[in-house]
Amino acid sequence: MGWKLDDLPIFASVAEHGSITAAADVLGMPKSTVSTVLARLERELGVRLMERNSRNLRLTAEGQTFLRHAQEILEQVHAADATMAGMRAEPTGRLAVALPPAFCQEIVAPRLASFRARYPRIALELVVTSHGADLLRDQVDLAVVVGPLEDSDLVSRTLLAGPLIWVASPGYLARHPLSEGLDALRAHVQICERRYGLPRFPVHWAGEPAQIDLSRGVWHVNSPLVVREAVLAGAGIAPLPQHYCRSQIAHGRLIQVFPQVTFDIAASTLTAVCLSRRLMSPRLRVFLDFLGEACR
């Protein structure tokens, strides 16, 4: 097809105004451009669309048939544009999101009512999982993952990058005085998240690289909130993401200990990932913004 869709509104304008000159004035383009478009259409279609001389212009039978099709196409384009404009104004449609359990319970769930009030036409489907999600396989639009992000073509946005910290309850510390050193710390660790239960979990001691064995003699669980509740009840010292301990520390229910033993900040980073920024839907964009606001 040698002619272009952009030729259609020019042809329709000439037919409507009955004049190449009038159409050129309305469209704000040179008369020669309008004439070139008409000639191209007739050449590529292989038919005469208009009979014209210096004073008159009229559509041929073929031109009238082509005009009806052109008007239908232009109406569909205008309808599609109006529909998309409406979607931009008010996000709508299905949105499937995979979230880690603790993040969903602690940070997202308390704010879902406000999101629904703002975007009532979004059909939100939350998949709460500790195993992550394959966006294509699971037909998920967005997933939040914990920890370092593997090399990937996915679009990513960091939501939370707070550190891991060591915490204990005041009652436990009252019964078990602490001494210095990694071995002393390790003796008090009774429970931790499964992701940290490694034989040589990397840490820094006073800024120097070190390792701690969290694989043996330590209970492992796949929820930081379960670890937090156990520590609140006196289950020793545990590493926890700071963003799940702020309130408890502020109210004195948990106490940060061993601040000299630090972690790579990526260990507790929460990152939102999706497939493509180029065709990101309005509903996905507003939910990403919502997650960013919730994490701030």
pLDDT tens per residue, range 92-135: 999 999 999 999 999 999 999 999 999 999 999 999 987 766 66
7-89 with 164-264: one CATH topology?
A: no
Domain 7-89 part of CATH 1.20.58.100:
no
Q: Which residue has the tokens 């966006």?
A: 135
CATH class name, domain 164-264? alpha beta
Domain chopping of the chain, boundaries: 7-89, 93-161+269-295, 164-264
Q: What are the DSSP calls for 228-291, one per residue?
A: HHHHHTT--BEEEEGGGTHHHHHTTSSEEE-TTEE--GGGG-EEEEES-STT--HHHHHHHHHH
The SS3 of residue 8 is helix
pLDDT tens per residue, range 147-180: 776 656 678 888 988 789 999 999 999 999 999 8
Mean pLDDT value across residues 21-34: 90
Q: Which residue has the tokens 């670890």?
A: 227
Q: What's the pTM value of the predicted model, to 2 decimals?
A: 0.64
- Decide: 193 and 223 in contact? Cβ < 8 Å: yes
**Rg of the chain, C-alpha, whole Å:** 32
pLDDT score, position 294:
92
pLDDT score, position 76:
83
pLDDT band at residue 140 using 50, 70 and 90 as cut-offs: confident
Mean pLDDT value across residues 51-55: 75
**Residue 57 β-bridge partners:** 52
pLDDT tens per residue, range 189-217: 999 999 899 999 999 998 899 999 999 99
Which CATH architecture does the domain made up of 93-161+269-295 adopt? 3-Layer(aba) Sandwich (3.40)
- Decide: 234 and 169 in contact? Cβ < 8 Å: yes
